[in-house]
Chain A
């Protein structure tokens, strides 16, 4: 027995060595280096690294570009959250209402998640281009062709809906497994009380979905702070920084203006912003859950 344990110890370490080696090189060292970079000014090439203390952070907090990046996630949320919640809840309820073929439907609705943001941006660029059939159709009614990506509110709408399209099937699966754990008796009781379908959706289904809603909300809100591909491909952060995101700014500062330290400071601010906002969303969701009889 003792020999077995000793052998296990060696095997245990052997099996974890690949992970440990990777973690030291690509997590622990970057972790420390990243913290050092925040306080220094360095252009990635020069041998000189200047210690600037909190200089980078102060500069970032005063930058117009960073201010835009702070606000953009909330603008995306205004479109993305309602759109993705309605779509994914709808898909989940729909799939759940079928007796057969649920797996097949789940697969079909999951297809958008496979899309590359790059290729979908190309498609959207085509769909909103000046000569596109969609614009031809719309201009018949309003008399002109809207400049989808050149108008701040429309650009936010387009990008928000694109991301909602991509994630709706994924979140629907989270809701679906929540729906399937709701006991049927609850609905039967409501039916006896004379509640219609819509009423029982709001009084039973939604509160019972609390765990699923909680995870989806946190995933969805967090996602809005990491948007990169769509604005990179479609707007470059424009018009006038209206769709400028945290990741665009970090990418731009690190690899175009080559300010490694400044970019790292912005990355730190991004992490802090996510931490605060996700914390608030968590609180809101928990108090909503408590109001419906869930415990944390």
Chain B
């Protein structure tokens, strides 16, 4: 009776299988650490004692001094309305995003589902706008805002960002993919176009609206250039702009700047995580 020889081929297959499984997990965890690292660093530094900020990655103790300082200021540095800045960010971003979504839904529905004269021309113009370099419009848009008396006002931040061409384009392509028969049925039942849009079409557009809204919200939340040139007063600045303009004067207070950064970052991550279950599905449509 001969002893069965060791099955080397099977052995290597197993090493390969478990080896790559382990490697995959190691790479995935390492990747997530890199992706989340700067956020974690920011949080740790915002809670570190001031003598340790930017000197140690993991502080020896945790303190909320940086956050308290943001609210109260100190004898040596003027307190800035940081909390108000957070409120300003929220106000500007929420109003802008809602308006961008609403305008895009209406225009997207009209351009994809209604027949009217000039429709094709409008759609072509939208494509032209999407590819026209926005930077050439920056200075004249600023001049118009000033001419309209909107310089240094909330409206100056919200109205020029109240319509988003990309969102219209996305809704046009999405509404085109909706089954026409359902809309016809609603029309025969005597529903108005407004009712069809809000009762029939929108309930079908949950994922796509979540993802478009997410992108609009994210981009508006971290906008720098426009808010920087339109607003002068600290009372109206968004938190993002306030951090940017104070990073020089507050260079010797890195702890509070980290705290302000955390306050700026938490909402956007929360919004993203809340809508993340729509994310993969909706994102696939956006890529098409």
Residues of chain A at the chain B interface (Cβ within 8 Å):
4-5, 7-16, 18-20, 22-23, 25-27, 29-31, 33-34, 37, 44, 90-91, 94, 97-98, 102-103, 105-127, 129, 131-133, 165, 169, 173-174, 177, 226, 228-229, 232-233, 246-247, 250-251, 254-255, 260, 263-264, 267-268, 270-271, 274
On whether the beta carbons of A228 and B140 are closer than 8 Å, the reply is no
Cβ contacts A to B, 19 pairs, < 8 Å = A8-B114, A13-B110, A13-B118, A20-B122, A26-B160, A34-B136, A97-B20, A97-B24, A98-B28, A103-B276, A107-B272, A118-B224, A119-B265, A122-B247, A127-B54, A165-B34, A173-B287, A247-B225, A254-B138
On whether the beta carbons of A119 and B162 are closer than 8 Å, the reply is no
On whether the beta carbons of A15 and B137 are closer than 8 Å, the reply is no
Shortest CB distance B16–A (Å): 10
Which of B5-13, B62-70, B77-85, B256-264 is found at the contact surface with chain A? Answer: B256-264
Tally chain B residues at the interface, Cβ within 8 Å. Answer: 82
C-beta contact mask, B131-162 vs A, less than 8 Å → 1, else 0? 01101111111111000000000000000101
Contact of A270 among B54, B133, B144, B218 (CB under 8 A): B133
Residues in chain B near residue A263, CB distance under 8 A: 139
Residues of chain B at the chain A interface (Cβ within 8 Å):
20, 24, 27-28, 31-32, 34-36, 38-39, 41-42, 45, 53-57, 102-103, 106-107, 109-111, 114-119, 122, 125, 129, 132-133, 135-144, 160, 162-163, 168, 187, 192-194, 218, 221-222, 224-225, 229, 240, 243-244, 247, 254, 257-258, 261, 264-265, 268-269, 272-273, 276-277, 279-280, 283-284, 287
Q: Which of B119, B229, B287 has the most CB of A within 10 A?
A: B287
Instruction: With A13-B116, A29-B140, A271-B136 as known contacts, state yes or no: A111 contacts B36, CB within 8 Å.
Output: yes
On whether the beta carbons of A114 and B218 are closer than 8 Å, the reply is yes
**Interface secondary structure of A, over-half rule:** helix
On whether the beta carbons of A30 and B45 are closer than 8 Å, the reply is no
On whether the beta carbons of A108 and B115 are closer than 8 Å, the reply is no
Other A-B pairs, 18, CB within 8 Å; known A16-B110, A122-B247, A123-B258? A12-B110, A15-B109, A16-B122, A30-B143, A31-B140, A33-B143, A103-B279, A106-B279, A111-B272, A112-B38, A113-B218, A116-B261, A118-B244, A118-B261, A121-B247, A228-B224, A246-B135, A270-B133
Instruction: With A22-B163, A29-B144, A133-B57 as known contacts, state yes or no: A15 contacts B193, CB within 8 Å.
Output: yes
CA distance A263 to B35 in the complex (A): 37
Residues in chain A near residue B110, CB distance under 8 A: 11-16
On whether the beta carbons of A116 and B187 are closer than 8 Å, the reply is no
Shortest CB distance B120–A (Å): 12
Q: 3 closest pairs, A vs B, by CB?
A: A12-B116, A30-B140, A15-B110
CA distance A113 to B215 in the complex (A): 10
Q: Quick one: closest A residue to B192, CB to CB? A: A11
On whether the beta carbons of A9 and B115 are closer than 8 Å, the reply is yes
Contact of B243 among A22, A122, A270 (CB under 8 A): A122
Residues in chain A near residue B129, CB distance under 8 A: 23, 27
On whether the beta carbons of B53 and A126 are closer than 8 Å, the reply is yes
Q: Quick one: closest B residue to A21, CB to CB? A: B163
Contact of B142 among A12, A106, A254 (CB under 8 A): A254
On whether the beta carbons of A119 and B243 are closer than 8 Å, the reply is yes
Residues in chain A near residue B229, CB distance under 8 A: 251, 254-255
On whether the beta carbons of A169 and B143 are closer than 8 Å, the reply is no
CA distance A233 to B222 in the complex (A): 14
On whether the beta carbons of A27 and B240 are closer than 8 Å, the reply is no
Q: Quick one: closest A residue to B273, CB to CB? A: A107
Instruction: With A13-B116, A18-B106 as known contacts, state yes or no: A226 contacts B243, CB within 8 Å.
Output: no
Q: Which of B109, B115, B138, B160 has the most CB of A within 10 A?
A: B138
Shortest CB distance B186–A (Å): 13
CA distance A15 to B168 in the complex (A): 12
On whether the beta carbons of B116 and A112 are closer than 8 Å, the reply is no
CA distance A128 to B277 in the complex (A): 36
Contact of B287 among A120, A121, A177 (CB under 8 A): A177
Contact of A26 among B53, B109, B141, B273 (CB under 8 A): B141
On whether the beta carbons of A129 and B54 are closer than 8 Å, the reply is yes
Instruction: With A15-B107, A173-B287 as known contacts, state yes or no: A126 contacts B254, CB within 8 Å.
Output: yes
CA distance A132 to B48 in the complex (A): 14
Q: Quick one: closest B residue to A29, CB to CB? A: B144
Contact of A267 among B136, B221, B224 (CB under 8 A): B136
Instruction: With A22-B103, A173-B287 as known contacts, state yes or no: A268 contacts B116, CB within 8 Å.
Output: no
